Amino acid sequence: MKLKKIMSAILAAAMLTATMAACGGDGNSSAAPSSSTDGNSATNTSAPAESGSGVSAEDLSTQEEYTVKIMYFGDAKTEDTNEVAAKLSELTKAKYNTVIEMVRVGFGSYKDQANLALNSGEKLDVISSFGFVPATMMSQNQILPLNDYLDQYAPDTKAAISDLDWQCVTINGNITGVPYNIEKASAFGLLMVKDVVDAMGIDWESIKTLKDAEPIFEKVKAEHPEMYMLIADFGDIRRPLRIDSLCDDSCLGVLEDALTTEVDPKVVNLFETASYVDWINTMYDFNQKGYMQPDAASSTESANSLLGAGKAFSFITNIKPGIEAEWVRNCGKEVYIAPLVEEYSTSANIGLRWCIANNSEKPERAMQVINEMYMNPDFSNIFIYGIEGKHWEFVDEEQGIVGYADGVEAGSTGYSNLAWGAANEQISYVFEGDDPDLWKRLGEFNANAPASIAKGFVWDNADVINEVTSCTNVLNKYVKALQSGALNPETDLAKFNQELRDAGLDTIIQDKQSKLDAWMAENK
């Protein structure tokens, strides 16, 4: 069947893309480290047991039945999640005698619920790292190192991912998770609702910086007082800055310019840099002029919802191939996106990963399921789109293009998921409205993005975890409010930075700098 050939070709291309993306970045493609026994990152570093039942790899279907519980994030429709899990179970039951249970949690509450599950000891096997710092998860013994499990139970997944990508998810020799095969570079732009732009004759392509949007906001606000000019997503506003967080989402010590050519790059306090100060001053100015969503810092609404309801004009979005079509599908609005920051790649771009919970009763069975998530197109398509005939159907089977099933649309489907929320979107079908060559374009985007000089470095925060905890509390107090313009930088930024210093930020930066220096000496 032509479709099977197409999917095989897509799989091969996606795997090649993963290799090109990492090797094409900075040329540093060292072998994946072996499992560590130093105990810095986790207490459980023992090798996995045999398959759990003594059966051979050739007949894993005779293993004892086991339920793999997956916790992951999402938005939109979830009514049919159990039915979708049952459909996935048909695949894994036949192959591994494994049943799938899926727990899908909304973006806004995912981290809290996932933390509760990880820390309470409840049964949990596979978990997404969305919203977490994997170094912290490892140091707190929430997840298992995967080295031996990958070697024994998912060698094809291990082989499909490049050495540099593995390096980006490895701490003290311990692989913390299987990285998602999605966009592997950062780029940011200002998204604007197309029908408003067209109706008002706005020259959106003139926007090169966020400040350039001010006269446009002024014009649109006068015509559409019912709309917020610039919104947050669940209280978060993306930073349109080209920084390297050194694989620390909290940004407690960064390279201000990810593409610096300095031989000895300096770790600095982001919140005192000229680029950050200029940005938050702009946001404060926008807030004072009434352009910002008033409750941006505390909002529990998604950008999808606000844009779809006609409440918002613009949003700072990430940019990748197909992003415009993705927004149309998510919020039902056509959009324009003015680039603000061109693509670049850091270790953090390989940050989202699938992990095995430390309280998994059978980690080897969890790894078998992760292997299916990453390598099996049938599993990926069900996980992303749901059940054929009920949630989706082919629009063009020969090209591998799908759309909603007959009589179903975005607002009425009982199951919808984001393709980038799967392990490997690049082996899935392309949704109607996307470019048929989307996965090829995404591969080129990944491969061609300039890489940070520190790509491959992953900061291990275990030596300063108390300081990280204290600084995180300060971040929670100030960051969203500053970045949404709710606080005056002239009076509050200095307070913020002083509280960070009091909480131990200087110690964190020193730790990060010393470990980066050691890594640079060994790898550059």
Name the burial class of residue 44, with classes exposed (0-12), middle (13-18) and buried (19+) by CB atoms within 10 angstroms of its CB. Answer: exposed
pLDDT score of 16 more than 70: no
Mean pLDDT to the nearest integer, 82-102: 97
**Per-chain mean pLDDT for the chain:** 88
pLDDT confidence band for 7 (50 / 70 / 90) = very low
- For residue 458, the number of C-alpha atoms closer than 13 Å in the C-beta half-sphere is 27
pLDDT score of 329 more than 90: no
pLDDT confidence band for 57 (50 / 70 / 90) = low
Mean pLDDT to the nearest integer, 385-412: 94
- Can you give the pLDDT at residue 76? 61
- The strand pairing partners of 316, in sequence order, are 190
Superfamily of domain 2-32+62-183+352-448: Periplasmic binding protein-like II (3.40.190.10)
Fold equal for 2-32+62-183+352-448 and 186-237+296-344: yes
Query: Which residue type is seen at 356?
Result: I
Angle at 238 between CA 457 and CA 428, to 5 degrees: 75
Percentage with pLDDT > 90 across the chain: 78
- State both tokens at 149: 């499990």
pLDDT confidence band for 15 (50 / 70 / 90) = very low
Summarised one tens digit per residue, pLDDT across range 124-169 is 999 999 988 888 899 899 999 999 999 999 999 999 999 999 999 9
pLDDT confidence band for 100 (50 / 70 / 90) = very high
pTM higher than 0.75? yes
pLDDT confidence band for 249 (50 / 70 / 90) = confident
Q: Which residues of 326-360 are buried (b: 16+ CB within 10 A; e: fewer)?
A: bbbbbbebebbbbebbebbbbbbbbbbbbbbbbbb
The H-assigned helical ranges of 97-169 are 107-120, 134-139, 147-153, 155-160, 163-167
pLDDT score of 238 more than 50: yes
**CATH architecture observed for domain 186-237+296-344:** 3-Layer(aba) Sandwich (3.40)
- Can you give the pLDDT at residue 18? 39
- Residue of 512 and 248 predicted with greater confidence: 512
pLDDT score of 6 more than 60: no
Q: Do 519 and 171 form a contact (C-beta atoms < 8 A)? A: no
Listed by start position, the domains of the chain span 2-32+62-183+352-448, 186-237+296-344
What are the φ/ψ torsions at residue 479 (nearest 5 degrees)? Answer: -60, -55
Output the 3-class SS for 151-210. HHHCHHHHHHCCHHHHHCCEECCEECCEECCCCCCEEEEEEEEHHHHHHHCCCHHHCCCH
Mean pLDDT to the nearest integer, 504-516: 98
Summarised one tens digit per residue, pLDDT across range 279-320 is 999 999 999 999 999 999 999 899 999 999 999 999 999 999
Q: Which of 75-79, 116-120, 375-379 has the lowest mean pLDDT?
A: 75-79
